[in-house]
Structure 1
Amino acid sequence: MQLVINDLLQSNENPEFIQRIVWVDNKHHLCFLVNVHEPSFPYSEEIHNIENSLNKGEFMKVAIDPWAISVDEEDLSKQEIEKRDKAWLVINQIYLIPDLFIPKRRAELIKLASKKFSISTKTVRQYLKRYWSRGMVKNALLPDFNNCGKQQGKERNFNKKAGRPYVYSSAIQRAAINEEWKKIIRISLEKHYFIRSKPSLKYAYQQMVKEHFSKEDEKTGYKVLDMDRPVISFDQFYYWYRKWFKPEDAIHKREGRREFLQNYRAITGSATEDSMGIGTYAIDATIGDIYLVSSFDRNKVIGRPVIYLTVDIFSRCVVSVYAGIQSMSKESVRLALANAFEDKKEFCKRTLDMDIDKDDWPIHYLPHTILADRGSELISNELTQITEDLNIKLQNLGAYRPELKAVCEKYFDLLQEHISPFLPGAVQKDFMKRGGKDYRKKAVLNLNEYVQILVRTVLYYNNHNYLMGYPLTQSMIQENIPPIPIEIFKWGLHKGTGLLRTIPLNAIRSSVLPKGSAKITPKGIKFGNLYYTCSIALKERWFSKARIQGSWSMGVHYDPQDVSNIYIRIDRQKHEVCTLIKQYEMYRGAMIEDVESLKSDIKHKEAEYEESRLNGAIQLAQDIEEIVKNAKNEAKQIPNSKVPKDIKNIRENREKENLVMKSENLVYPNDPKVKLNSVSHETESGKVLDIFRKKQKEVLYDGEN
């Protein structure tokens, strides 16, 4: 093992014992060493003994020099430079090898240097010992001015108050801080300052003075300063607070670790560093800053939407955007994920009737990781099952730690701040001020139109947002990749850094879309008060069977963003698409929230009309009863009304009645072809008419009340 000058040898038994090799005498196989922590003249050891100790593990070479210093010349004071340079001249004068390592010759050299430079021999010896123990370089001779004023390992004790005297005298006595006072300061800080109500340091000082440096006034009963003994000043109190506690310690104690990590911790690095390329998606939800109206009736405000964003951490690309009026739920998360995995061109055409270019939003892949917070819908077993089925790692972040997915959080602010000035019905901060207008009454956009605006804004940020300060990799710089989200995503896709995967549309429907239960009825497949049909239902005559054997239920998948279709799983690989029957074509392309809202409105109108309907029915009943009552009264006036009715000749009576009605121009009053002559009651025909009338009354009325 080769030993060279300035090697450091550390003892394994005593790590504090470190020796420095200051010269190697290969001629006599000797090695000269010094103890770096106890400056002394060199002592010799045989080289083979040192090598044996190193081989046995008794000593080992170390690379860290405890005396190594790095200092710029500009940082040194003039006095330090003078002292160092003077010592350096002395060392250069006497540093003769091997004479300096021979004790008798070394003593002669020290005496010569002492006479030449007019310094004591003790000073020369100190220069040599410092030079050998501290690394044998010029700066090893620097004086230890940087340690001046410090007491290593303990605090200084004072007999009188430290610091400059007071300019203005006071009746309050002051004194130096002692151990008892330090204890009082610590107790007061813990009791009155490091609490969640976050009072001021001045308040904590006043409470300390009240509790520990005051006495009760005999006259008033209030506590007053005890003027017979010294009192801690606020400057002393503040000094020891700053000496004992760092700024982050105070935040930890006053506001808690969670608040510190969220708003006060050091912000180093970038989210890109942890994403390991594209394919780490962050998902989150918020309430939209706008009030929307119903798709079927723009006079009805339906409230604020819930927005879900999915963002790729590495590229900053918005993977999907979903908005709905239902609350944050497992179904809304399913739809947000379905949007993320689906072809965006087809999605926009199918649900929004928008035409976009495929290259504008070419993101329809499964990620390897999904970052989510601890919302109830994001830690559910259902979402866990979806990610396990699709081989996606689900990582739920700590509670109240939105900064861990700051990319997603920032996009909420960017999107809403960008579009809010354009949108009527957007939330305004001056709503509650005097004279402020109710922005809710200005709402005109429905949910579908709002989602179109969000999609357009997302396309802008994906394709035109230049990311200032984005940490481009060396490979990106070489390939001249601009820091634009979609370009970074395409680059990562080309390089294969994210290991993204695709998924068939059937798999999205079966694994991601919400599940529901439909009923096979004679009228069709009933789901959500709508009726659907499909080819397999017609082929296998489901609706006829339902009418004969009764209805039955069947599981389906549905897309709440478009009720035009539902999906029935035929087997493990196939799905049947069911479409609305013609009777419900009005709902094609509508969202399930709109359908439910319309159904609710219809029920509400039915309830409002209930009073009018019942009043009409009551009036009708009264009219019928009045007519019947009059008929009964007229029947009672006929002679022999108690005689049983003639029911034997009903057909003949009907023909005679018909003849009478024709004669009175009652059957065809406006027919010019029917020409009736008036008949005198004194003729035979008049007599016959009277008889017919009597018979008619006998048939119609039984004479009973």
Structure 2
Amino acid sequence: MIYIKMVLEVQGADKTNLFRVIWMDAQRKSMYIIDIYDPKAKPFECDVEDYQSLIKSKSAKVIEDPTLDYFELTEKSEQVWRERIAILERLGQEIEAPEIFHFEKIWKTLVKLERSLDCSANYMKKILRLYWQNGLNYKALVPKFGRKKIHNNCEQSLRLPKDLKKQELNWKEVIISSFDKYYKKNSKATLQSAYLEMLELCFSKKIEVDGISKLQLEDSYPSYWQFEYHTRHLRYTKDTLSKRWGSKNFELKGREILSVSQEKVYGPGSLFQIDATIADVFIVASINREDIIGRPVLYFVTDSFSRLITGVYCGLEGPSWNGQMMALVNSASDKVAFCQRYGVNIVEEEWPCAHIPQAIRGDRGELISAMAEEMVRLQGINIENTPPFRADLKGVVERKFGIIQGSIKPIVPGYIDSDYRVRGGKDYRLEAALTLEEFTKIIILEILNHNAKLIKGYRKPKDLLKDKVPAQPIKLWSWGIRNRSGMLRKVTEKEMKLTLMPRYEALVTAQGVKYRGMFYTSRKAVEEEWFSRARVRGSWKIKIRVDERNTNNIYYWDDKTNNIEPFELVPFDKERFSDLSFDEVAALITYENYRNNQIENDFLESKINKTASVREIVTKAKENTDRSHTETSNKKRTEGISNNRSKEKEKMRKQESFKFVENELDIQKSQNKTESSDSYNDAESKQDILDILDNLEKKSGW
């Protein structure tokens, strides 16, 4: 509801304006408002409904009157004030509303009143404007000159000693400017160093003593006390701390805290907060306890309203989507069955949460990935990401890490302390004794204790105080379920897993469904003849769900029928890649491709070298052939091919014939034959032998 004298803050396109309601008709349909800060403002008419709509849409809001102030009047200012009141009352008698709000229409009337009121028409306009802008009361007409402001005794007085006042007024600007340059903008500077830098640059001059340049202070300069005095009220302002610490650090450590975590949440499930940390304890392998496997990763999911830890994951998956997926699945899973897997027997009332929330808040990590968009699409879970370095915006879950780990620190072996990795410090790795399963069991027990523990500093809303609910997470959760449970929803563990599993594209081919170099098959695909159709008509793509930690199966989720079809590796790929993670397979394939590339490079080098050798042989052969050419005609050379072949064949037979024993007689005969054949010049007898051999070849069909 809008009333007269009310101040409205209206968000404009360029700036925010403050308007005061100065008149409203009897039907409350029309009203006049004026800008309270514009020195030349004029009242204007508007509809009440328009501004009520702006308030509902939060484009405008009602604020406290910013012009309220209290003053003591001097004798002179009180006289002027009473004169203004008299003028205002006379104007009210002569001109009625809403006519008085139109300066153009009443201008002639104001001019006629100049003599009787002994003031100008413009001065009358000023009085009316002051009255409307500053609260529609007589205090609005108090003149600014000659008035004394009533100071709050708690405020710091900045009055200076009289003997220093005149001198310090000249130095004040230099001191403030030096403070801005040398202290505010330099996070490493101290007030003392800023003071010295000011003296060096503003209150000293260069002189030469024995040819050496030195700085000498002027005769008069501000003392450190004066520098500190003038900057006292500036050192801890938001502007100074933001520039010295950085805006992100100031928002984390220096901003005002005017709200609480549960202020904007309606009940359980309105907002879950999720975060991960590396646990401060070393653990050992379950296969061989002598093997230290480092520090586990710890994920917590916490309800903002009740502070109940709704999900947990202890594992070796680094802060990643896989780890967060496990924590979110646990948050939606039955905790009785979960605890039984680790040998902890509970009833549902001890840890009753197995739900999905309306919204999840995390840092700019896993929740900013494409996988998180599936939660929004399939389950309607809103995602909130905090800005970088703003852990305070999810302080509920951040604090849980310190509380849970701090409680087990004195009794858990391998827990690291502040001297970890300090020279001469203890090596806590050698104390590791817990396996991952044992550590998870301890965390479960600590979570159960925490959920029943009284929360110190929990600020309860009115209805919680009325029902006398203790500030225990399990009690707050149970109360919220009974009274404010509209935000919680349940899904099956299977559905939650499929929602969180990453979604990718796979290619249907004649060899199977191809994904990351592996081929998969299923009963559905075989019965519906997917692979034969792919061979005849061509391949097509399908959407699949994948658990990155195991290649044995991929899952096809049919959005139309909502059925899930598991695909398994084809026999050949099962033999090669069974029970491996996709990262391991990718590494194997990458290494195989690398080896193939190396082999290909080696083959190309070998081929190039062999080709070069062939070219060398051919070149030498051509040179030798060219040197052996005589004046024999080409015709004669081609006619003698048969004879030449026979000669060459005879020579090769002698060289290629098998010889198992060589005696001296054979060696001598061979030498004699070679010598006689080399010196043999009887062309006719030699030709007879060749002719006989040629005839034998023709008859035998060689």
How many Å separate the matches in 2 of 1:296 and 1:40? 97
Q: Which amino acid aligns with 2:284?
A: V
How many Å separate the matches in 2 of 1:407 and 1:397? 13
In structure 1, which of residues 289, 305, 309 is the aligned counterpart of residue 296 of structure 2?
305
Answering whether residue 431 of structure 2 is matched by residue 428 of structure 1, we say no
Residue in 2 aligned with 1:477? 465
Task: Indicate conservation of the 8 Å contact 1:506/1:575, yes or no.
Answer: no
Residue in 2 aligned with 1:232? 222
Answering whether residue 490 of structure 2 is matched by residue 447 of structure 1, we say no
Inter-CA distance 156–418: structure 2 relative to 1 (3 Å threshold): closer
Inter-CA distance 454–280: structure 2 relative to 1 (3 Å threshold): same
How many Å separate the matches in 2 of 1:42 and 1:325? 80
Alpha-carbon offset, residue 273 of structure 1: 0.5
How many Å separate the matches in 1 of 2:465 and 2:231? 49
How many Å separate the matches in 2 of 1:428 and 1:510? 40
In structure 2, which of residues 350, 354, 364 is the aligned counterpart of residue 364 of structure 1?
354
Alpha-carbon offset, residue 406 of structure 1: 0.8
Task: Indicate conservation of the 8 Å contact 2:235/2:241, yes or no.
Answer: no
Residue in 1 aligned with 2:333? 342
Residue in 1 aligned with 2:96? 53
In structure 1, which of residues 369, 383, 407 is the aligned counterpart of residue 396 of structure 2?
407
Alpha-carbon offset, residue 566 of structure 1: 8.0
Alpha-carbon offset, residue 427 of structure 1: 1.2
How many Å separate the matches in 2 of 1:504 and 1:579? 23
Inter-CA distance 40–527: structure 2 relative to 1 (3 Å threshold): closer
TM-score by length of 1: 0.55
How many Å separate the matches in 2 of 1:205 and 1:48? 59
Residue in 2 aligned with 1:291? 282
Q: How many residues align?
A: 476
Task: Indicate conservation of the 8 Å contact 2:358/2:381, yes or no.
Answer: yes
How many Å separate the matches in 1 of 2:367 and 2:79? 60
Residue in 2 aligned with 1:503? 491
Q: Deviations over 1:671-692 (max 9, x none)?
A: xxxxxxxxxxxxxxxxxxxxxx
Task: Indicate conservation of the 8 Å contact 1:275/1:314, yes or no.
Answer: yes
Alpha-carbon offset, residue 286 of structure 1: 1.2
Task: Indicate conservation of the 8 Å contact 1:295/1:446, yes or no.
Answer: yes
Inter-CA distance 573–226: structure 2 relative to 1 (3 Å threshold): closer
How many Å separate the matches in 2 of 1:503 and 1:536? 26
How many Å separate the matches in 1 of 2:495 and 2:355? 13
Q: Deviations over 1:581-619 (max 9, x none)?
A: xxxxxxxxxx999x98xx99xxxxxxxxxxxxxxxxxxx
Answering whether residue 64 of structure 2 is matched by residue 38 of structure 1, we say no
Inter-CA distance 438–519: structure 2 relative to 1 (3 Å threshold): farther
Q: Deviations over 1:78-133 (max 9, x none)?
A: xxxxxxxxxxxxxxxxxxxxxxxxxxxxxxxxxxxxxxxxxxxxxxxxxxxxxx99
Answering whether residue 440 of structure 2 is matched by residue 456 of structure 1, we say no
How many Å separate the matches in 1 of 2:369 and 2:385? 11
Residue in 1 aligned with 2:252? 262
Alpha-carbon offset, residue 452 of structure 1: 1.7
How many Å separate the matches in 2 of 1:330 and 1:419? 27
Q: Which amino acid aligns with 1:328?
A: P
Is there any run of 5+ residues in structure 1 with no aligned partner, and where? Answer: 19-33, 69-131, 135-142, 150-154, 163-174, 543-552, 581-590, 601-635, 637-705
Alpha-carbon offset, residue 265 of structure 1: 1.4
Q: Which amino acid aligns with 1:327?
A: G
Q: Deviations over 1:261-310 (max 9, x none)?
A: 11011222211112222221111111111112222222111111221111
How many Å separate the matches in 2 of 1:564 and 1:414? 40
Residue in 2 aligned with 1:191? 181
How many Å separate the matches in 2 of 1:394 and 1:433? 40
Q: Which amino acid aligns with 2:304?
A: I
How many Å separate the matches in 2 of 1:354 and 1:176? 78
Task: Indicate conservation of the 8 Å contact 1:195/1:254, yes or no.
Answer: yes
Answering whether residue 475 of structure 2 is matched by residue 487 of structure 1, we say yes
Answering whether residue 323 of structure 2 is matched by residue 280 of structure 1, we say no
Task: Indicate conservation of the 8 Å contact 1:158/1:176, yes or no.
Answer: no
Q: Which amino acid aligns with 1:322?
A: Y
How many Å separate the matches in 2 of 1:67 and 1:570? 74
Task: Indicate conservation of the 8 Å contact 1:311/1:317, yes or no.
Answer: yes
Alpha-carbon offset, residue 505 of structure 1: 3.1
Q: CA RMSD in A?
A: 5.5
Q: What secondary structure is seen at the aligned counterpart in 2 of 1:218? A: strand
How many Å separate the matches in 1 of 2:337 and 2:550? 13
Inter-CA distance 345–161: structure 2 relative to 1 (3 Å threshold): same
Q: Which amino acid aligns with 2:175?
A: I
Alpha-carbon offset, residue 447 of structure 1: 1.7
Residue in 1 aligned with 2:164? 161
Inter-CA distance 422–480: structure 2 relative to 1 (3 Å threshold): same
Q: What secondary structure is seen at the aligned counterpart in 2 of 1:500? A: coil
Alpha-carbon offset, residue 540 of structure 1: 11
Is there any run of 5+ residues in structure 2 with no aligned partner, and where? Answer: 5-19, 24-32, 40-66, 68-76, 102-130, 531-540, 570-578, 589-659, 661-702
Answering whether residue 456 of structure 2 is matched by residue 468 of structure 1, we say yes
How many Å separate the matches in 2 of 1:215 and 1:61? 53
Alpha-carbon offset, residue 387 of structure 1: 2.4
Residue in 2 aligned with 1:667? none
Q: What secondary structure is seen at the aligned counterpart in 2 of 1:421? A: coil
In structure 2, which of residues 142, 165, 168 is the aligned counterpart of residue 177 of structure 1?
168
Alpha-carbon offset, residue 349 of structure 1: 3.8
Residue in 2 aligned with 1:620? none
How many Å separate the matches in 2 of 1:42 and 1:519? 87
Q: Deviations over 1:36-63 (max 9, x none)?
A: 9703597599999659734446387986
How many Å separate the matches in 2 of 1:527 and 1:460? 46
Residue in 2 aligned with 1:83? none
Q: Deviations over 1:481-516 (max 9, x none)?
A: 221111111211111355211113332132113569
Answering whether residue 408 of structure 2 is matched by residue 419 of structure 1, we say yes
Task: Indicate conservation of the 8 Å contact 2:310/2:353, yes or no.
Answer: yes
How many Å separate the matches in 2 of 1:148 and 1:450? 59
Task: Indicate conservation of the 8 Å contact 2:371/2:501, yes or no.
Answer: no
Q: Deviations over 1:306-359 (max 9, x none)?
A: 211111111111111112212222222222221112222233345x45433222
In structure 2, which of residues 364, 369, 385 is the aligned counterpart of residue 374 of structure 1?
364
Alpha-carbon offset, residue 378 of structure 1: 2.2
Residue in 1 aligned with 2:648? none
How many Å separate the matches in 1 of 2:470 and 2:213? 73
Residue in 1 aligned with 2:322? 331
Give the stretch that moved more between structures: 402-411 or 323-332.
323-332
How many Å separate the matches in 1 of 2:351 and 2:568? 28
How many Å separate the matches in 1 of 2:404 and 2:491? 29
Alpha-carbon offset, residue 223 of structure 1: 2.9
Task: Indicate conservation of the 8 Å contact 1:210/1:223, yes or no.
Answer: no
Alignment of structure 1 residues 520-669 onto 2, 5 Å:
569=557, 572-575=561-564
Identity of aligned residues (%): 29
Q: What secondary structure is seen at the aligned counterpart in 2 of 1:444? A: coil
Answering whether residue 313 of structure 2 is matched by residue 322 of structure 1, we say yes
Task: Indicate conservation of the 8 Å contact 1:214/1:223, yes or no.
Answer: no
Task: Indicate conservation of the 8 Å contact 2:199/2:217, yes or no.
Answer: no
Q: What secondary structure is seen at the aligned counterpart in 2 of 1:395? A: strand
Inter-CA distance 436–255: structure 2 relative to 1 (3 Å threshold): closer
Q: Deviations over 1:524-568 (max 9, x none)?
A: x9999xxx99998999999xxxxxxxxxx9987577899999866
Task: Indicate conservation of the 8 Å contact 1:368/1:498, yes or no.
Answer: no
Q: What secondary structure is seen at the aligned counterpart in 2 of 1:176? A: helix
How many Å separate the matches in 2 of 1:329 and 1:257? 28
Task: Indicate conservation of the 8 Å contact 1:335/1:513, yes or no.
Answer: no
How many Å separate the matches in 2 of 1:148 and 1:482? 41
